Each structure stands twice: as structure tokens, then as C-alpha cells.
Homo-oligomer: A and B are copies of this chain.
Amino acid sequence: MPTMNEIARLAEVSLGTVSNVLNNSAKVREPLRRRVMDAVAALGYEPSELARGLRRDKTNMIGMIIPDITNPFFPAVVRGAEDAAFGSGYRLVLCNADNNQSKEIAYMTQLRTYLPTGILVIPSNFSEMTMQLGSSKRSGPVIVCLDRMPRHWKGDTVTVANEEGAVQATQHLIDLGHKHIATITGPLHLSGAHARLMGFRRALKQAAIQVPMEYVQESSFDRAGGYSAALGLLQMQPRPTAIFAQNDMIAMGVAMAIRELGLLCPRDVSLVGFDGLDVTELMDPPLASVMQPGYQLGAMGIQLLLERVKEPDRLFRHHVLPTTLRLGASIGPPPPVRPAKKTRSSAATKSKK
């Protein structure tokens, strides 16, 4: 790889002049500028970001840390971020923490040593991360949190209207006549999962519907978690007539469980998810889901980040993006009479309505 020195020699100018041409940092007269540009072209010179970053104390990269690249929601966010960053001349480098706390910390630490302009993080754990992030007081890379908000985090954030989304979904089920509504949450230490549960509770409370404790199951945000939580729920007495899965991966697991138990959706149990992934539209039946604007989430994250780079002292902002309920054949009215498996009494009381 050619260096600036070789350019300087070939163009017969000084090193400083080459730098000035390359960065427009000072006026350079046409003939010299020309010679430099020619030399650059002739040698195919590309500046070393390493050296440049070392000297300027900052590189043109923006780091992004996501919890799980195999959950299609995150790639959507990444794409939004990538487009926005690339458009502004920054290169997005992505790190997949794989839901692993130590990997997340390792990436956070490593990324820093590359002096990126900023870091966009979808945090997957709380306490540790907060400490790390805490040290972003005055200098170092700008950090923006996406999708989830660590407790005590003071900084820019973009999230979606989790609580409202959950209310929409739950309310819709209530409107259809469901009285036995269960939910499978994500890990409740995550702000989003917590908010969705709050929304679920709020909607039911407002409709004066009781929720048995065991109708709220905490799970990881993946298919396996949803599957096993659903197996449990679907064998309870009385069986819930609707399940609100707090993300689409969980909903997929629920769908598997439903199928496996020989039940039919939505005849026996309605199902609504959260994310609105493309792929869940093609499920059997098409999944109703609360749509999150993943692409915008990422794009907005980069926007906040770059604005803060420009004005480090502006007030912290917290953008909340709206969600919308996508209807789908996976929800319908509750079964007119709920079949009981064991208890005769429950079958009797049930028909009182």
C-alpha cells in the first residue's frame, strides 16, 4: 500500500502539502494540487485509517452492537443504521453479542480502542453495560442506546412505543371477546419487555379482566423459549383462549406448540406477536403482530448520534417511534365454549355465560 510519503515524493511536494490537498485543510495552488492528485491516482493511494485515527483521535467508523443477529428484527434495524451512516460517510461496523454478556462487554471495550466516532448499542444486559456506558461522560465516542434503555442511562435514546403497542394488541383481543388472555414476555430486566408487560396489564385492568399469575410467563426472546412457555400455557386449566407473544420469535415458538398439541389457531387459541416481521406474514395462519419500525429505529439512531457529534452539549433526547397493529388470521373470537380436559366442574361453570 502506498503511503503519503510516496505520494509526496512522486509529486515533488512536501508531506504537509499532500495532507492539505487530501483534506482541503488549507488552500493549495492549482499546479501543486494537480500534481498531488495525479500521484494519488497513479499509485491508487488510500489513506490509512489507522494512522489517521491515531492522530486525530477518532476514526470514521461507527460501531453497532446488537444482541442477536439471527432474530430478523435486528437486521432490519442494522439496515436502517447502515444506510444512514454510509450516506454520511461513516462506515458501520457491526458486532453481534449473541445474547452473551461477556461478549457484549468485550465488544464494547474493543470497539473503544478503535476510537470510533460513535457506538450504537442495543443493550442486552443492564448493570455491567451501564457502568461501561457511564464512562462516556465527556470524551470518547458518542453512545446512543437503541430499542432498550438501561436503567440510569443518561444519553440519547431511540425506542418504540412498547407499552402502547402492547395495549393495542391486548385491547384488540379483548374487543374480540377474549377473557382468558395469557402473555409470554421477554426477559423482564429489558426495558422493552417490561413496558410491554405493563401495557398488557393496563389494557386488561381497564377492561376489569383478572390475569392469573401463571398466565404471565417470562421467556427468552427466541423460538425455543416461546415454544416451551406455550406448551405450559396451553395445558393449563382453564386454557387461555388468546396468547400475546411479546415478540415474533416467541410467537413462532407458540405456533409450533399449538400445532404440536393438535390445536388450531385461531379456532382454539388466538395468537398475536410483536415485531411485525415480514416472514411472519407467511405463517400458517398469517400472524397478527404489533409492527415496529425497525429500519427507522436504526436510521434515527444514527441521526441522533451524528447530531450529538456536531453539538456535544445539546440536551439528551429520547425519541419514541410509533407502533401499529398488523391484523392477521391468527386472531379471531374465542371458542364459544371452552373444552375442559379434566375437571367436570369447570366445564359446568363455564356454560353459565
In the complex, which residue of chain B has the Cβ closest to the Cβ of A107?
B91
Q: What's the least CB distance linking A310 to chain B, in Å?
A: 22
Q: How many copies of the chain does the oligomer comprise?
A: 2
Interface residues of A in 53-83 (CB under 8 A from B): 53-54, 59-61, 69-70, 72, 75-76, 78-79, 82-83
Q: Return A188 CB to nearest CB of chain B, in Å.
A: 25
The reply to whether the CB of A50 lies closer than 8 angstroms to some CB of chain B is: yes
Q: How far is the CB of A47 from chain B (nearest CB, A)?
A: 7
Does A96 contact B78, Cβ atoms closer than 8 Å?
Answer: yes
* Residue A283 is within 8 A (CB to CB) of chain B in the complex: yes
Which chain B residue has the least Cβ–Cβ distance from A255?
A: B282
Q: Which of B72, B284, B286 meets A70, CB within 8 Å?
A: B72
Q: Which residues of chain A have a CB within 8 Å of any CB of chain B?
A: 1, 46-51, 53-54, 59-61, 69-70, 72, 75-76, 78-79, 82-83, 86, 91-96, 98, 103, 106-107, 109-110, 112-115, 140, 223, 252, 255-256, 278-280, 282-286
Extra pairs beyond A92-B95, A94-B95 (10, CB < 8 Å): A46-B109, A49-B110, A50-B50, A69-B75, A79-B96, A223-B278, A252-B282, A279-B280, A284-B284, A284-B285
Name the distance in Å between A330's Cβ and chain B's nearest Cβ.
11
Q: 4 nearest interchain CB pairs?
A: A284-B284, A93-B93, A94-B94, A49-B113
- Cβ-neighbour of A94 out of B72, B93, B280 (below 8 A): B93
Could you write out 16 A-B pairs with CB less than 8 Å apart?
A: A1-B112, A1-B140, A48-B54, A49-B114, A50-B113, A50-B114, A69-B75, A69-B79, A69-B82, A82-B98, A92-B95, A114-B114, A223-B278, A252-B279, A282-B283, A283-B283
A18 vs B273: C-alpha distance when bound (angstroms): 54
Q: Quick check: B70 and A75 within 8 Å, CB to CB? A: yes
Question: Most chain-B Cβ atoms within 10 A of its Cβ — which of A54, A92, A109, A115?
Answer: A54
**What is the minimal beta-carbon distance from A60 to any residue of chain B, in angstroms?**
8
Are A113 and B256 interface neighbours, CB within 8 A?
A: no
Q: Which among A53, A61, A86, A279 has the highest number of chain B CB atoms within 10 Å?
A: A279
Q: Which residues of B contact A285 (CB under 8 A)?
A: 284
Q: In the complex, what's the smallest C-beta–C-beta distance from A106 to chain B, in angstroms?
A: 8
Give complex CA distance A50, B110 in Å.
Answer: 11
A19 to B: closest C-beta gap in Å: 16
CB pair B54 A51 closer than 8 Å: yes
Evaluate contact between A79 and B54: CB separation under 8 angstroms: no
Asked if A103 and B115 sit within 8 Å, CB to CB, the answer is no
